[in-house]
Amino acid sequence: MTDKPIIVIGAGICGLSTAIWLQRSGYSVILMDKGTPGMGASYGNAGLLAQWAIAPVTSPTLWREAPKYLLNPNSPLFMKWSYFPKLLPWLTKFLAHGTDAATKRIVSHQIPLICDAVDQHKSLVCGTDLEHWISDSKFSYAYKSKAHFDADAYTWDLKKTAGFEPTVITGGAVQECEPILGPAVKCLAVLEGQGHIVNPGQYITELTKYFTKNGGKFIKAEVRDLHKLDGRISHIDTDKGIFECSHAVITAGIWSKELMKKLGLKVPLEAERGYHVLFKNPSQMPCNPMMITAGKFAVNPMDSGLRCAGTVELGDHYAGPSAAPIQLLMRHTKEIFPNLTYSGTQEWMGFRPSTPDSLPLIGELGDSRIYAGFGHQHVGLTAGPKTGRLIAQIIDGKTPNIDMSPYTPARYIV
């Protein structure tokens, strides 16, 4: 132990989880963010504890499907073409993982990180008054037909390696299971024993209150620089002053890219821009969360309304939102839920921090006592509590019970 605090930069689910687990190990912790805790991707995600989301976007069919997706206005893949030249080096590395061998390797490394996500979230809040934010549920994949489900066999074979085998429902039984669905959906693949967060933004807010109530400190500040002495972190310079620390943890999502640059390190991290539409006061709600496979977006009944979240827009993390992804979500929602009425909508766009191999960076940067915990792509909320626990264990000198080498920052930082 040291009398200097550990500073965690980035107050989303990964940063808060890290701060809480370090706090429980007896460390003094400062949580730091330039904005309000959880108002980035941790706020606007689909709210799913997606422990089944082990298959990467870079499946072996991506090379064939990507051009069709980009040219089809009804596809869930979009591109900010003005950013394409800058994106190309990352995209080339990303597409290189679109092989069967690479896909199976990525899946094998996702399994230990996310497949116990519901239990990890429950462990984070166990014994607190935050347990009600986590809801047990089933999760369904909604298909236009059984043939469409059968065509997805490659992905389901990958899921089966992690123990996720669905119950397949067809015909009129689909609407008996989920009355909100219209006739466009003729097949459901249902997974038991899943879970979701009923209000991700409020969940993060309450976790922050829990952290500060138990002695942690949150400081709203923008990091200007990270300073080392004899190769190890010594203090952090911010717009609110200088803060000494014994260790620093970078969990700032896509903004971690800029923080790494301050250390003289270039990380291949790009934004998969995701969108959501929240339908306020909906006339109907699904019984459980589901994935609308035709539009590649998730549907989650929340206490604030019905959230439809998804799509992928490749581009930078400074440009504002595009209209097309929101329009796509609205079109698909109308088709899938033809009888849905609502009082209004709320729209959002955020950034999923994505690495070329679809795996996060978790671990120490050399012997600097600076740690990475970012790059989770689509599964940041899902993997946050476990990521935080793993970083806390490493800092505390304990050996995690999973192989950490697949997530080592060293694979990208030389």
205 three-state secondary structure: helix
pLDDT band at 311 (very low <50, low <70, confident <90, very high): confident
Tell me: pLDDT of 162 over 70. yes
Q: Among 50, 80, 304, 295, which residue's Cα sits nearest to residue 196?
A: 50
pLDDT, greater one: 385 or 1: 385
Note the pLDDT of residue 381. Answer: 95
Tell me: pLDDT of 358 over 70. yes
Q: Among 357, 366, 359, 376, which residue's Cα sits nearest to residue 256?
A: 376
What are the tokens at 284?
Answer: 């109907």
Q: For residue 170, which phi and psi values (nearest 5 degrees)?
A: -135, 170
The mean per-residue pLDDT over the stretch 153-170 comes to 97
- Can you tell me the distance from the alpha carbon of 42 to that of 351, in angstroms, rounded to the nearest whole number? 10
- How much is the mean pLDDT over the chain? 94
The mean per-residue pLDDT over the stretch 119-129 comes to 96
Tell me: pLDDT of 63 over 70. no
- Can you tell me the distance from the alpha carbon of 410 to that of 361, in angstroms, rounded to the nearest whole number? 9
Note the pLDDT of residue 395. Answer: 98
Note the pLDDT of residue 67. Answer: 72
Percentage with pLDDT > 70 across the chain: 97
- Can you tell me the distance from the alpha carbon of 146 to that of 85, in angstroms, rounded to the nearest whole number? 40
- Can you tell me the distance from the alpha carbon of 129 to that of 280, in angstroms, rounded to the nearest whole number? 27
CATH of 60-98+135-196+269-354 among 3.40.80.10, 3.30.70.3280, 3.40.50.970, 3.30.9.10: 3.30.9.10
The mean per-residue pLDDT over the stretch 112-133 comes to 96
Note the pLDDT of residue 390. Answer: 98
What are the tokens at 121?
Answer: 């979230």
- Can you tell me the distance from the alpha carbon of 99 to that of 86, in angstroms, rounded to the nearest whole number? 24
- Can you tell me the distance from the alpha carbon of 92 to that of 343, in angstroms, rounded to the nearest whole number? 44
Full-model pTM: 0.95
For the chain, the domains span: 60-98+135-196+269-354
- Can you tell me the distance from the alpha carbon of 340 to that of 320, in angstroms, rounded to the nearest whole number? 29
Q: For residue range 209-263, what is the model confidence (pLDDT) as tens digits? A: 999 999 999 999 999 999 999 999 999 999 999 999 999 999 999 999 999 999 9
Please name the residues in contact with 108: beta carbons below 8 A apart, sequence gap of 6 or more.
Answer: 161
What are the tokens at 229?
Answer: 């002495």
Q: Which amino acid is it at 400?
A: P
CA-based radius of gyration for the chain = 21
The mean per-residue pLDDT over the stretch 100-125 comes to 97
Note the pLDDT of residue 62. Answer: 73
Q: Among 138, 136, 139, which residue's Cα sits nearest to residue 119?
A: 136
Note the pLDDT of residue 44. Answer: 83
- Alpha helices by DSSP H, listed for 219-322, are 256-262
Q: Which helix (H) or strand (E) holds 291?
A: strand 290-292
Q: For residue range 257-305, what is the model confidence (pLDDT) as tens digits? A: 999 999 999 999 999 999 999 999 999 999 999 999 998 999 999 989 9
Tell me: pLDDT of 54 over 80. yes
Can you tell me which residue has the tokens 């460390």? 27
- The alpha carbon of residue 32 and the mean position of all alpha carbons in its chain are separated, in whole angstroms, by 20
Q: Among 404, 63, 78, 414, which residue's Cα sits nearest to residue 268?
A: 414
Q: Which helix (H) or strand (E) holds 352?
A: strand 344-354
Cα separation values, 8 from 124, 214, 230, 355, 406, Å: 17, 16, 21, 21, 22
